[in-house]
Amino acid sequence: MTPNDGVRIPASRPLVPRPNNWTSTKRTKANLKIASLNMRGRFHNGTDKWLHINQFICDEKITILALQETHLDPTQATIINEMFSDTLHIIALSDPDHCASKGIALVINKRILGIKDISHYDLAPGRALLVSTLWYQQERINILNIYAPNDPNENSTLWKKIHNGILNLPQPDIILAHCDNPNIIETWQSLKSHLSLTDGWQATFPTSLNHTFSQSAQHGGHQSRIDQVYVPQDKLPYCKEWTISPSPIPTDHQLISVRISKQSMPFISKGRWILNPALLHDKEIMANIHIESLCLQEALRNCTLNHTNDQNLQTVFKAFKEKVIAIIRNRAKKIVPMTWNRIDNLQDKLQETLNDNTIPDNDRLLLSTDLQE
């Protein structure tokens, strides 16, 4: 930084030692991106899927990821937690008798959400895990991750066990479940009624045919939305940006995600449109505005002589502003992409110049300086 940057540099202050009871507090956002995925085991052709999961959570800024079919025993879960201790906090739950076929986990992105006061409840080994953690301004969020069995009798028993298990526990704010057509199960209906749950995706897109699971043609080519997200009805208005997208890891399931906001936060709209001052240097825009200004001048003169409720100074000037905004917006749709294309081309040319060893150093310095300017 140089003195000509126009930035004031504050005078240095003496360091004040932190108190002994000081603890760092992560600044958590008032909205969280939560996702769910059936990962179908830890490995694919010898490659550990957790390496891709860690990178994907970082790139997509996912706060909490619910995973099913993790196939982890406690020792493996500890190793993975230590492997990604700087970025992820992983709460894994396995069935001691079937570690290689079941298992669920809840992954918390430590870059976004702190883990200072977190608790979890094992409702069913390898099948149901409830996690409660601090969210925003000391409020908590409770997430229930479920991997339901296909067998109808086992399925019914699981929902009943979950229902009985959560009666004296924090009530879920969101349920991420892998379950095939649970609506035919009476015990599921009882739990759904108790928590006033609604299928968030179906309620938001009632006519959508998107699926999260697809079989190969050899196995019948069946497709279904087997991975679901349920929220209490009073929380549905605060759930936005529902998406079903391809999985970042090899699996026959897709990723479903949603962004949930704190209920006490005020509603913030998209804001009002403002003019980009740079567009005023465009000759075509200024020429069209000039034509509209002449028309405005004539219309204002006529309004003075023939003033009515529909044709007066206010309505005429309002129409003029709407025409000017339309002119600028239509023109911006053409010239802004062109500007970005020129920038991209210049950046590509700059990289080519910097990496071209056939150009003498002095010439390369001059060329790169010109391109940056």
Computed on alpha carbons and rounded to an integer, the radius of gyration of the chain in Å comes to: 29
Whether residue 153 sits in one domain with residue 77: yes
- DSSP, collapsed to helix, strand or coil, labels residue 172 as coil
Among 1-15, 69-83, 274-288, 321-335, name the one with the lowest average pLDDT.
1-15
The DSSP H or E segment spanning 293 is: helix 283-305
Instruction: Say how far apart CA 17 and CA 31 lie, in whole Å.
Output: 33
Same domain, 313 and 251: no
Give the whole-angstrom CA distance, residue 135 versus residue 141. 6
More confident residue, 256 or 354: 256
Query: Is residue 7 in a domain?
Result: no
For residue 282, give the nearest of 323, 328, 341 by alpha carbon: 328
CA 261 – CA 239 distance, rounded (Å): 6
In a domain, 5, yes or no: no
Domain region containing 308: 277-372
Whether residue 108 is found in the same domain as residue 197: yes
Rounded to the nearest 5°, which phi and psi values hold at 72? -115, 135
User: Can you give the pLDDT at residue 4?
Assistant: 42
For the chain, give the mean pLDDT.
84
Indicate whether 25 belongs to any domain. Answer: no
> Which residues does residue 197 pair with via DSSP β-bridges, in sequence order?
232
Is residue 341 located within the same domain as residue 244? no
Instruction: Confirm whether 23 is domain-assigned.
Output: no
Supply the pLDDT for residue 12.
43
The pLDDT of residue 172: 96
Q: Does a structural domain hold residue 4? A: no
Per the domain annotation, does 266 fall within a domain? no
Looking at the domain assignment, is residue 350 inside a domain?
A: yes
Residue 67 has pLDDT above 60, yes or no: yes
Count of domains observed in the chain: 2
Q: Is 89 helix (H, G, I), strand (E, B) or coil?
A: strand
pLDDT level of residue 171 (50, 70, 90 thresholds): very high
- Mark out the alpha helices in 61-208 (DSSP H runs): 74-83, 152-165, 186-195, 200-204
More confident residue, 133 or 13: 133
Give the domain-ending residue among 261, 289, 314.
Answer: 261
Look up the pTM and report it: 0.67
Whether residues 116 and 216 share a domain: the answer is yes
Length of the chain: 373
Give the pLDDT confidence score for residue 15 in this predicted structure. 45
C-alpha–C-alpha distance, residues 266 and 288, integer Å: 40
What is the average per-residue pLDDT within 5-12? 41
**Cα–Cα distance, 191 to 182 (Å, whole number):** 11
Q: Could you tell me which residue, 199 or 25, shows the higher pLDDT?
A: 199
The two structure tokens encoding residue 342: 């020129």
User: Which residue did the predictor score with more confidence, 5 or 101?
Assistant: 101
In angstroms, rounded to a whole number, what is the distance separating the alpha carbons of residues 91 and 104? 9
